[in-house]
Amino acid sequence: MGGKTQARTQTSMGASTSAREDPDGDLISRMAAGEPRALRLLMDRHLTRVHAIAYRMLGNVADAEDVSQEAFLKAWRQAGKWQSGRARFSTWLIRVAMNGATDRLRKKPFTDLADIEEPVDPGRRPDQSLEDSELRERVSIALGQLPDRQRAALVLNHYEGYGNPEIAEVMEVSVEAVESLLARARRALKSALAGEIALLKGDH
């Protein structure tokens, strides 16, 4: 696509053109046959990651839970339409969750990710913990101010460890488009966090 033309997002299963064996294929077939246990097993495999991505997009636990549940409900309803050998179920599921999160972002303001509590490291001084919390809050606010697609690309890359080709498949764009989204997102964060760059690099 040369980075210029973005594919129209598809919501039906199997919309991607990446042909590979799907490790979830058997469970999808069982789910299509109406077996609830297959859905539960798929949730055991993928819910944690789907929820984490939705939370990073939305900054709200309750909304992330709703988006995750909606994604699996869509999977249950569309299991009979699955096109084996095309999209991986995990890729399709994350795409659905991110689309759902994006829809919600357009309807309500971003909630600060720093609201969630993290375990206290007994080896860190109280002032270090406070410093980390303040930095995390600044980063979360800056992340929440990014355009939807830039935020999505950055969440998948930085927080979930996806490579550019994987992000391109999830977002249904070219690798070049992903590179552009990530570059713009990082520039925006760098600008928003101008005084905090040293802290972000661990120089504290």
Is residue 52's pLDDT more than 70? Answer: yes
**Buried-state track 75-92, b at ≥16 Cβ within 10 A, e below 16:** beebbeebeeebbbbbbb
**CATH number of the structural domain spanning residue 131:** 1.10.10.10
150 lies in a domain? yes
CB 86 within 8 A of CB 16: yes
Contacts of 174 (CB under 8 A, 6+ apart): 1, 2, 3, 5, 6, 168
Query: How many domains does the chain contain in total?
Result: 2
Same domain? 121 vs 196: yes
Question: pLDDT digit string (tens) for 80-101?
Answer: 888 766 678 999 999 999 999 9
- The pair of structure tokens assigned to 112 is 């600060």
Question: pLDDT digit string (tens) for 123-167?
Answer: 444 444 445 566 667 777 888 889 999 999 999 998 899 999 999
Of 111, 140, 168, the position where a domain reaches its end is 111
In which domain, by residue range, is 194 found?
116-204
Same domain? 83 vs 155: no
Of 111, 126, 151, the position where a domain reaches its end is 111
The neighbour count for residue 130, using CB atoms within 10 Å, is 11
128 lies in a domain? yes
15 lies in a domain? no
17 lies in a domain? no
CA 66 – CA 100 distance, rounded (Å): 9
The pLDDT of residue 85 is 63
Give which of 110, 115, 194 is closest to 151, Cα–Cα.
Answer: 110
Q: Is the dihedral of CA 49, 51, 54, 59 positive or negative?
A: negative
Same domain? 126 vs 188: yes
The neighbour count for residue 165, using CB atoms within 10 Å, is 12
4 lies in a domain? no
Same domain? 120 vs 99: no
CA 84 – CA 192 distance, rounded (Å): 44
The pLDDT of residue 13 is 59
Same domain? 28 vs 93: yes
Please tell me whether residue 5 adopts helix, strand or coil conformation.
Answer: coil
Of 71, 87, 111, the position where a domain reaches its end is 111
The pLDDT of residue 76 is 95
**CATH number of the structural domain spanning residue 60:** 1.10.1740.10
CA 39 – CA 132 distance, rounded (Å): 39
Contacts of 32 (CB under 8 A, 6+ apart): 79, 80, 82
Same domain? 131 vs 165: yes
Same domain? 134 vs 71: no
Same domain? 41 vs 88: yes
DSSP-derived letter for residue 124 is: S
35 lies in a domain? yes
Same domain? 105 vs 44: yes
